[in-house]
Amino acid sequence: MEQYLIPILTNILLALVPLVFVLVYALVTIYVEMKMAAHIQNRLAYMRTGWHGVLQPIADMLKLLQKEDTIPTVANKGLFILAPYVVFTGTYAAFAVIPFSSAYVGSNIDLGAFYLLGVSALVVVGILMGGWAANSKWTLYGGVRSAAQVISYEIPSAFVILAVVMVTGSMNFSVISKFQEGGIQNWLILGGAFPLAKKLALIPFMLIMFLIYYVSSMAESNRNPFDLPEAESELVQGYNTEYSGMKFAMFYLAEYANLFIVSAVVTFLFFGGWTSPLGAMASGPWWDAFWFVTKCMVFVVLNIWLRWTLPRFRVDQLMYMSWKVLTPFAIACVLAVGLILVW
Amino acid sequence: MTESTTTQTTTSSGRTLRTEEMIINMGPQHPATHGVLRLELVVDGEIVQEVIPHIGYLHRCFEKHCEHMTNYQQVIPYVDRMDYCAAMNNEFAYVVAAERLLKIEVPERVQYIRVIMAELNRIASHLIAVGTYGIDIGAFTPFLYCFIDREMILDLFEMTCGARLLYNYMWIGGLSHDLPPEFIPKAKEFCRYYKKRIEEFNNLLTFNEIFVKRTASVGVLPKDVATNYGCTGPMLRGSGVDWDLRRDDPYSVYNKIEWDVCVGKGEVGTVGDCWDRHIVRMREMEQSLRIIEQAIAQLPEGNVQAAIPKRIRPNPGEVYARTESPRGELGFYIVSDGTATPYRVKGRAPAFSNLSVIGEISRGAMIADMIAIAGSTDIVLGEVDR
């Protein structure tokens, strides 16, 4: 009995690490986002709950917990209740293959990147479910838009991941990270750990692929300028219009968690994952975790900055960009990277 | 209510499916309808087939109220509440009409102060228009930039007459208060400050690539359609019609001031698209600054309450006076029967005519375009419904 119990308990504990991380990270990011938005817009944001409002995200969370959990009478009750949890499961499951440092990874499987693409697609199912089950025309629009958008943008991002996997020879994010060890000059955005000629040939493609992936990731996380599924001025609040209380909080949490996931993937693919930019200096399990989270937060902050600066695309422009701009370029990059590797 | 059309579609496997256009209600509590407007949309997926505006949610019987006032002055606070974004301009139109009915001349100083106030309010009103237009297109930040600047104008109004939104400042024959001494330096400072802000705003929103993509060649309002529907103001000028009542039917002292009328030229798309209407508003704000600066420079001394009549009892007759409000031709038609109460007051609201064209220009557009078009008409429901 005991020989089963201990591994199971260990696994549960290991699986809880990202959950704790996500909760803390979400609170921090909500605060950062609100403060950044406020400063971009020349105002102050939270100032009253604690020092400069640092306790406000916690207060917000408590408020959401207490709120009445309304379910529209015309809604499809089962799907309506299930949807936020499906969305959150899809996002949270992706954390399994994210190595936070050289010492910690939830599941060190070789198909990491592949698995991540697969489970993130589950989010669409949840959003579509929520949008449909609420039985409102606005939420239906949000759900359908979201499905079209996320599926379209998964294609260029999958191609970019494919190209990087070709370079590093593995789908395991730990291996991809290790490949870029040895300092900033070995990061894939700067051509990776290759001889100089090869490096120089790779750099332009890596830059293009980084842009492609970053744009697609913004679209996949449904944030401005690609926030069409929840476009306030068009669709009221999109797929989560009818949600309140804890279910709404789940959507919210999933959105922020998803933001972290896509930032983490950018970090792994191009910016050395958990490796230190200083080479052997400042490395080790704790330092790795520090570098990883710092790099991810840079991209999260960049995303927030863009969100509060840019207007929103239109549906057809969004589709045009995915299918006629990003996808062909991504395919071309995969080809070029392949040729460079063979050469 | 419109009937949605039903069509039969055959799938590749040979099954026939019944497809139907969807009717969807946008408003009266929708974030993009700028108040209590209900738009009934007939949509085919994302494509809008038909838009039917339903108005009247903010109807307050303005015109009927006017017939039951004890005198002509009491109408002014009601006029304020028509286009609450530009109350000064509304008062201006009403007092010009009433003064023409009474055939009185008002002192020069009053004229100039009225022009300064009306142009300041025009800027404040356009700030709301372009700011909320940013929100409609999905950019939230420009809106708050606009409100910071609008706040300075409201401060100027507050120091003059104590009110920030609905002023009751222009009276028939005069003004409720003279300008306080600190007004002129503050207004000059605002003009200097705001010129730079317009540039900053244009960089942030007007020339933003995504914004241009969203608004260029969207909701094109051709010249003839604009004139046929009675569109006025930035809507008409956006379509390339060079028509501004301040120049073409001058009232007050506008003929003593130099400024340009801005028209849409289709710089990034077609003449009369949403972007043209937006840029006309942006450029009009610059021109308003020019007007304010000149008016301040020419401002004569005098008493602002000298010409206010003790009792208003116009001879039987009627008058129609029209002015250029931020939204277009705002006119008041007043009929007097010789008593102290107006026999009839009719307001010609520009937003009402501008709104009527929505159905025409958004047919076949996408839902997001529809929002962009509705936003570019810059309606104020208080004025539409009165």
Domain residue spans in chain A? 70-342
Taking the Cβ of residue B46 and every Cβ of chain A, the question of whether any pair is shorter than 8 Å is answered with yes
Return the structure tokens found at B223: 């010249």
The reply to whether residue B138 touches residue A312, judged by beta carbons under 8 angstroms, is: yes
Return the structure tokens found at B348: 């010609």
Which residues face B26 on adjacent strands?
B39
Tell me how far apart the alpha carbons of residues B58 and A142 are, in angstroms, rounded to a whole number.
30
Taking the Cβ of residue B209 and every Cβ of chain A, the question of whether any pair is shorter than 8 Å is answered with no
Residues of B within 8 A of A316 (CB-CB) are: 46, 366
Chain A closest CA to B249's CA: distance in Å?
Answer: 38
Say how many C-beta atoms besides its own lie within 10 A of residue A4's C-beta: 8
Return the structure tokens found at B21: 């256009």
Chain A closest CA to B246's CA: distance in Å?
Answer: 34
Residues of A within 8 A of B134 (CB-CB) are: 311
The reply to whether residue A311 touches residue B46, judged by beta carbons under 8 angstroms, is: no
Confidence at residue B3, expressed as pLDDT on a 0 to 100 scale: 52
Return the structure tokens found at A251: 């959507």
Can you tell me which residue has the tokens 């239109």?
Answer: A314
Return the structure tokens found at A266: 């950018």
Residues of A within 8 A of B139 (CB-CB) are: 309-312
User: What band does B333 get if pLDDT is binned at 50, 70 and 90?
Assistant: very high
Long-range contacts of A152-155 (CB under 8 A, 24+ apart): A152/A219, A152/A318, A152/A319, A152/A322, A152/A323, A153/A216, A153/A217, A153/A219, A153/A220, A153/A226, A153/A322, A153/A326, A154/A117, A154/A120, A154/A121, A154/A216, A154/A220, A155/A322, A155/A327, A155/A330
Say how many C-beta atoms besides its own lie within 10 A of residue B9's C-beta: 9
**B116-154: per-residue pLDDT in tens?**
999 999 999 999 999 999 888 888 888 999 998 999 999
For domain B62-385, the CATH superfamily is: Cytochrome-c3 Hydrogenase, chain B (1.10.645.10)
Distance of CA B77 to the CA centre of its chain: 18
**B50-95: per-residue pLDDT in tens?**
888 888 888 888 888 888 877 888 888 888 888 888 899 999 999 9
The reply to whether residue B134 touches residue A308, judged by beta carbons under 8 angstroms, is: no
Average pLDDT rounded to a whole number, residues B104-109: 87
**Cis status of the peptide bond prior to B28, with omega within 30 of 0:** yes
Percentage above 90 pLDDT, chain B? 17
Return the structure tokens found at A196: 């100089």
- Residues in chain A predicted with pLDDT less than 70, given as ranges, are 1, 231-233
| A314 to chain B: closest CA residue | B368
Confidence at residue A233, expressed as pLDDT on a 0 to 100 scale: 65
The reply to whether residue B366 touches residue A316, judged by beta carbons under 8 angstroms, is: yes
Taking the Cβ of residue B299 and every Cβ of chain A, the question of whether any pair is shorter than 8 Å is answered with no
Confidence at residue B126, expressed as pLDDT on a 0 to 100 scale: 92
User: What band does B1 get if pLDDT is binned at 50, 70 and 90?
Assistant: very low
For residue B4, is pLDDT > 60? no
**Cis status of the peptide bond prior to B107, with omega within 30 of 0:** no
Helix (H) / strand (E) element for A97: namely: none
Predicted TM-score (pTM) of the model is: 0.85
Q: Looking at the partner chain, which of A137, A311, A316 has a beta carbon nearest the beta carbon of B139?
A: A311
Residues of B within 8 A of A228 (CB-CB) are: 368
Domain boundaries, chain B: 62-385
Confidence at residue B5, expressed as pLDDT on a 0 to 100 scale: 58
Backbone angles phi, psi at B25, to 5 degrees: -95, 120
User: What band does B6 get if pLDDT is binned at 50, 70 and 90?
Assistant: low
Chain A closest CA to B252's CA: distance in Å?
Answer: 38
ipTM > 0.90 for the complex = no
Chain A closest CA to B45's CA: distance in Å?
Answer: 8
Instruction: Output the furthest CA–CA distance in chain A (Å, rounded).
Output: 65
Taking the Cβ of residue B138 and every Cβ of chain A, the question of whether any pair is shorter than 8 Å is answered with yes
For residue B9, is pLDDT > 80? no
Angle at B350 between CA B349 and CA B353, to 5 degrees: 100
| A233 to chain B: closest CA residue | B32
What angle do the packed helices A196-220 and A137-168 form, to 10 degrees?
170
The reply to whether residue B145 touches residue A137, judged by beta carbons under 8 angstroms, is: no
Return the structure tokens found at B342: 């107006």
B358 CB-contact burial (10 Å; exposed 0-12 / middle 13-18 / buried 19+): buried
Range scoring the smallest mean pLDDT among A74-78, A178-182, B238-242, B361-365: A178-182
Among B23, B39, B43, B144, the residue to mutate for chain A (most A Cβ within 10 A)? B144
**Do residues B327 and B380 touch, judged by C-beta distance below 8 A?**
yes
The three state secondary structure string of B271-284 is CCCHHHHHHHHHHH
Tell me how far apart the alpha carbons of residues B164 and B118 are, in angstroms, rounded to a whole number.
14
